[in-house]
Amino acid sequence: MASYDVIIIGSGPGGYVCAIRCAQLGLKTAVVEGRETLGGTCLNVGCIPSKALLHASHMLHEAEHNFAKMGLKGKSPSVDWKQMLAYKHDVIGQNTKGIEFLFKKNKIDWLKGWGSIPEAGRVKVGDDTHEAKSIIIASGSESSSLPGVEIDEKVVVTSTGALELPKVPKTMVVIGAGVIGLEMGSVYARLGSEVTVVEYLDAITPGMDGEVQKNFQKILKKQGIKFVMGAAVQSVDALKTKAKVNYKLRKDDTEHQLDADVVLVATGRKPYVDGLGLDSLGVEMTKRGQIKTDDHWQTSVKGVYAIGDAIEGPMLAHKAEDEGMAVACVLAGQHGHVNYNVIPGVIYTHPEVANVGETEESLKDQGRAYKVGKFSFMGNGRAKANFAGEGFVKILADKETDRILGAHIIGPMAGDLIHEICVAMEFGASAEDLALTCHAHPTYSEAVREAALACGDGPIHS
């Protein structure tokens, strides 16, 4: 029986980052992973492969729509889907092998197989049982579906199937207008599929700032994506190579149907805790099937911790990573900390959408007085040069103190731009602090400064 300071179950961004930090802090560490490769959902069937396809399809869009305008003439590229999938596989391989290298470098053992916890202090993998002073569950999540909708990963697919379709479908229905549905819908729309998004609510991307939701939907519509809003999907009839989506409009209960070559079910994800033995171990769960943890990510069972998608909070890779690093610090006797108020969210469509902190709606709900500083990318020289003038930066600041409370960006590189606002928020900065910081010209980030200026005496370029 091997003995460790820490055994982590799951090698996604939560698990592998936690393992590396544990090892760096001098703890003898092992990771249990049942998948063939390390990296979890994120590297194998999530963040990384989806971004590879978003990148490739965006390049096609640029070639088709913007090259000629810049004097780059010639035949637009055509889609070699097999090669695009090979490129995606190569990107996955480089990333997952990178984690394997980091494990070796940090002397972390990979215990291959599916793990369970027969009792605190013990992890079973296949026929072997290992001892650990602390156990961390980082088992992640899986796609959830709807009643009446059966997934076959061929015609009716989750995001995993959508990343691996045998060909680009002529028609695709996406059920759910959340991040994953809109990213994958964008990929296929750019590659030529006719994409219709069916959403239960009246707005896309639930939880986002209302103004961003409306503008973002307008932009996606302009790109050719169709939307059926306020629609409750009743069932999906899957035939061999086609499917029928049956839905009711909530406003009048009328029944409708949509045909599609592929139906992508993107209605959310749920924690994956199968086979861990949490019931018999006595680990308390929330009503939504998440593992309950305290302020130090310890579950109701002493010595057993949990992080990432398996617990409460946004299901995001960087949230899992931060929890991984924090819990490693706790186990090494240091202070582990995650600021849940400053966790950015990004949608990697084009333009990108990014947000952090409060929305106008959440501030109104709290009855807080706030001001809005907004700046359009149309006033940003770099964005204009790059055909990227769509969208805006919006900063929300406290009306009295000017402290930044939240930010919302639609526009080029929004997912990168958001971080200067995250740093500002971490330091408790005011909008004026941001506005007084010199920003290089010409950069997209000047739009962030202009939005900060708009919280005070006004922006320059609008």
Ligand X SMILES: Cc1cc2nc3c(=O)[nH]c(=O)nc-3n(C[C@H](O)[C@H](O)[C@H](O)COP(=O)(O)OP(=O)(O)OC[C@H]3O[C@@H](n4cnc5c(N)ncnc54)[C@H](O)[C@@H]3O)c2cc1C
User: Is 320 a residue that touches ligand X (CB under 6 A)?
Assistant: yes
First to last CA, the chain: 68
Binding window for ligand X (CB under 6 A); candidates: 87-95, 226-234, 305-313, 427-435: 305-313
Q: Which stretch binds ligand X (CB under 6 A): 4-12, 20-28, 60-68, 454-462?
A: 4-12
Number of residues that bind ligand X (CB under 6 A): 37
Pairing between β-strand 171-175 and β-strand 194-198 as defined by DSSP bridges: parallel
Q: Is 42 in the site for ligand X (CB under 6 A)?
A: yes
β-strands 269-271, 141-143 pairing: antiparallel
Task: Show the site string, 168-207: x = touches ligand X by CB under 6 A, - = not.
Answer: ------------x---------------------------
What is the rounded CA–CA span in Å between residue 336 and residue 394? 31
Q: Return the residue of 7, 27, 47, 396 that touches ligand X, per CB under 6 A.
A: 47
- When asked if residue 161 is in the footprint of ligand X (CB under 6 A), the reply is no
DSSP type of residue 379: G
Backbone angles phi, psi at 8, to 5 degrees: -110, 130
Q: How far apart are CA 10 and CA 335, in angstroms?
A: 23
Output the DSSP codes for 240-256.
SS-EEEEEEETTT--EE
Is there binding between residue 29 and ligand X (CB under 6 A)?
A: no
The reply on whether position 267 binds ligand X by CB under 6 A is no
The piece of 3-11, 225-233, 388-396, 424-432 that touches ligand X (CB under 6 A) is: 3-11
Neighbouring residues of 361: CB distance < 8 A, sequence distance ≥ 6: 209, 210
Q: Does the annotation place 179 within a ligand binding site? A: yes
Residues 20, 30, 33, 88: which binds ligand X (CB under 6 A)?
33
Q: Please say if 65 is a catalytic residue.
A: no
Q: Of 84 and 310, which has the nearer Cβ to ligand X?
A: 310
Answer whether 404's CB lies under 8 Å from 424's CB: yes
Of the pair 291, 431, the CB lying nearest ligand X is at: 291
> Please, which residues bridge with residue 408 across strands?
355, 394
Tokens representing residue 218 in the block: 């307008």
Beta 392-398 vs 404-411: how paired, if at all?
antiparallel
| Rounded (5°) CA angle 31-34-35 | 110
Q: Please tell me which residue in 89, 296, 441, 461 is annotated as part of the active site.
A: 441
Nearest residue (CB) to ligand X, 236 versus 316: 316
Residues that bind ligand X (CB under 6 A): 9-15, 32-35, 40-42, 46-47, 50, 114-115, 138-141, 159, 180, 272, 275-276, 308-310, 315-318, 320, 348
Q: Which residues are annotated as a binding site for NAD(+)?
A: 176-183, 199, 268
